[in-house]
Amino acid sequence: VLPACLLLALLLLAPALSAQNERGLVVNLEIGELCLQSIQCKSGCCHRVNGLSLARCAPKAAEFQECSPKSIYGVYYKCPCERGLTCDADKTIVGSITNSNFGACKD
């Protein structure tokens, strides 16, 4: 016999699990929705304004906009560039640690 809370949780999760191709609670998040990692966002960028702000999905940086090189952390202060563009930035470990590794998207 399943506990009542487990049964309730399964009933609430069933619709989210059945709609895998649609926007979900954890992945395929739209711009402006809260996120923890960039992989959750459709755009591929989980962005925060500063260290105290909540991260939200944001569009990737366009040509000539400020950017950050792709990182393993998954949350950015400046989004990485759109496909086909490169981020001309300080890619050293010091730039990453001091959060000064911003650049501009170039073709």
Model confidence pLDDT, tens digit, residues 20-57: 445 567 899 999 999 999 999 999 999 999 889 999 99
CA pair distance 66, 102, nearest whole angstrom: 7
**CA 75 to chain centroid:** 6
Residue with tokens 């400020």, as numbered in its chain: 66
44: Cβ contacts below 8 Å, ≥ 6 apart: 38, 60, 80
Which among 58, 59, 71 has a CA at the least distance from the CA of 102?
A: 71
List of domains in the chain? 24-106 (2.10.80.10)
pLDDT at 6 over 70: no
Q: What is the pTM of this model?
A: 0.70
pLDDT in tens, 62-106: 999 999 988 777 899 999 999 999 998 877 766 666 666 899 999
